[in-house]
Amino acid sequence: MKKHTLKLYSIALLSFGFTAAYGQSSTNSAGVESTGSGGTASSSVGQAVYTTNTGTSGSVAQGVQQPFEISVVTGLEKAKPINLEIAAFPNPTTDVLNLSIGNYNKQNLSYQIYTSTGKLLQSLKVNGAKTTINMSTFASGNYIIKVTDNVTTVKHFKIIKK
């Protein structure tokens, strides 16, 4: 009786192991794998289920074979590094906030102060490498300082006013 039970458990365990090994498979009517100097490509015809789910951050394709593409971009100029130095301090602040700007053309720069709900409170030009912003008239809370070059946002800061 013990030998019979042991054989039964062994067969059940082996059967489970073989079925778990084939977790992702499909029955296709045709398929091919092509190899060349540029790489390898494989394809299948007759795949039973294939769906694509798309969301705001991308898409996911469900199926047995998934494409993987590598693109090489040539003919571009070497990108120049951006040496932008903008700092807002002290943060948190009580009365005065300093906006320090280095390595950037300050002629077209301005700053805007917004509440945490997005209401514009103040918009002024940056007057040099160091601009002093009077925060004493603002209530305690969170503010957004946005530094812009004409209409392009260069940097924004979350500032806490005590």
pLDDT at 141: 92
Q: Domain total for the chain?
A: 1
pTM over 0.75: no
Distance of alpha carbon 109 from alpha carbon 139, whole angstroms: 26
CATH at 100: 2.60.40.3580
Tokens of 100: 């320090």
In-domain check, residue 148: yes
| Domain annotation covers residue 31 | no
Provide the residue range defining the domain that includes 136.
Answer: 85-161
- Asked if residue 125 is part of any domain, the answer here is yes
Which tokens go with 81? Answer: 């590094």
Whether residue 150 is contained in a domain is answered as yes
pLDDT digits (tens, 9 = 90+) for 8-51: 777 766 665 555 554 555 666 666 677 777 776 666 665 555 66
β-sheet bridge partners, residue 87: 100
- Backbone phi and psi for residue 29, each to the nearest 5 degrees, phi listed first: -80, -25
Q: Can you give the pLDDT at residue 34? A: 72
Domain assignment present for 54: no
Residue 107: inside a domain: yes
Assigned domain for 51 exists: no
Q: Is the peptide bond before 67 cis (omega within 30 degrees of 0)?
A: no
pLDDT tens track for 93-140: 889 999 888 877 767 888 999 998 999 999 998 888 888 999 999 999
6 domain-assigned: no
Quick one: how many helices (H) and strands (E) in the chain?
A: 1, 11
